[in-house]
């Protein structure tokens, strides 16, 4: 296993189009997180899953955003009707939910540009 | 609400100099975790260290050292004898500990470190 994998690495889309990103976590990790990072800022939490259950969603996750993790393995993040303000790096992370194990491993991110 | 402040936006040092990156945090939790991550130009976040709120011992790992002071809510990171490969954006982060491991993390805005050869 080579770590958390995100696809695509880069996506350019026209405003109003829908986009979907995929995250493949480290195989034994049961927690999966999505973050968004805009230029010059730190990553901001969007949502997280434990197995297939989505346990928390940030207020940043508007109704145009939806995340799924149907089988508790990979996850998808879909943005509908993209806006220029959605342009950012979308980061996925995974971790193993065992007490005292608090290291999350991040993928390389998907950079979205909305034109 | 949790908050992490990294007041230094950018720092430039000459190779072999020591550099300290500052981090100040705010939280109402009594149990929390603090982290440092490195983000090289490739974009991937690389985990450097995690400390819990009950462990105020300073830590050293090679050229890296961390100074956790609960009294001042600070968790500073020092790189000794900096190298060009240390050039990156460094993020300090704070996590709520709700039991069961890693939870929602609040990141600072990052400090961009440039090490000049």
| CB pair distance less than 8 Å for A109 and B93 | no
Helix (H, G, I), strand (E, B) or coil at B24: strand
β-strands B111-116, B10-14 pairing: parallel
Judging contacts by C-beta atoms under 8 Å, the chain A residues touching residue B54 are none
Q: In this complex, which of B37, B47, B101 lies closest to A98 when CB atoms are compared?
A: B101
pLDDT at B45: 87
Judging contacts by C-beta atoms under 8 Å, the chain A residues touching residue B108 are 42
Judging contacts by C-beta atoms under 8 Å, the chain B residues touching residue A103 are 47, 50, 102
From chain A residues 45-64, the ones with a CB under 8 A of any chain B CB are 45, 48, 56
Which stretches of chain A are assigned E, i.e. beta strand? 5-7, 10-13, 19-24, 31-37, 44-50, 53-57, 65-68, 75-79, 88-95, 105-106, 110-114
**What digits encode the pLDDT tens for the residues A48-71?**
898 999 988 888 889 999 999 998
Q: Give ∠ CA A58-B3-B62 in degrees, rounded to 5.
A: 110
In total, the C-beta contacts within 8 angstroms joining chain A to chain B are 66
Q: Using pLDDT thresholds of 50, 70 and 90, give the confidence band for residue B89.
A: very high
Q: Is residue B89 within 8 Å of B29, Cβ to Cβ? A: no
| CB pair distance less than 8 Å for A42 and B107 | yes
Helix (H, G, I), strand (E, B) or coil at A8: coil
Q: Give ∠ CA A26-B95-A103 in degrees, rounded to 5.
A: 30
pLDDT at A56: 84
Q: How far apart are CA B24 and CA B106, in angstroms?
A: 12
Question: What is residue A69's DSSP assignment?
Answer: -
Q: How far apart are CA A67 and CA A73, in angstroms?
A: 13
pLDDT at A100 over 60: no
**What digits encode the pLDDT tens for the residues B55-87?**
888 888 899 999 999 999 999 999 999 999 999
Q: How far is CA A85 from CA A8, A42, A63, in A?
A: 19, 16, 15
Q: In this complex, which of A42, A104, A111 lies closest to B102 when CB atoms are compared?
A: A104
């Amino acid at each position: 296993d080579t770590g958390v994998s995100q696809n695509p690495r880069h996506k350019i889309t026209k405003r109003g189009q829908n986009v979907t990103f995929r995250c493949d976590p480290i195989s034994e990790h049961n927690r999966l997180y999505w973050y968004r990072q805009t230029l010059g800022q730190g990553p901001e939490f969007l949502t997280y899953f434990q197995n297939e259950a989505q346990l928390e969603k940030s207020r940043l996750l508007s109704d145009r955003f939806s995340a799924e993790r149907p089988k508790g393995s990979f996850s998808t993040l879909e943005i509908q009707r993209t806006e220029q303000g959605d342009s950012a790096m979308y980061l996925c992370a995974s971790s193993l939910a065992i007490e005292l194990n608090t290291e999350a491993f991040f993928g390389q991110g998907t950079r979205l540009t909305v034109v | 609400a949790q908050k992490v402040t990294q007041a230094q936006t950018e720092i430039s040092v000459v190779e072999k100099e020591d550099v300290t990156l500052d981090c100040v945090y705010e939280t109402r939790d009594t149990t929390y975790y603090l982290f440092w991550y490195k983000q090289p130009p490739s974009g991937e976040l690389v985990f450097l260290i995690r400390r819990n709120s009950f462990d105020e011992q300073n830590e050293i790992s090679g050229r890296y050292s961390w100074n956790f002071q609960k009294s001042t809510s600070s968790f500073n990171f020092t790189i000794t004898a900096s190298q060009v490969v240390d050039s990156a954006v460094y993020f300090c982060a704070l996590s709520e500990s709700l039991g069961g491991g890693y939870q929602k993390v609040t990141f600072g805005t990052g400090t961009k470190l440039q090490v000049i050869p």
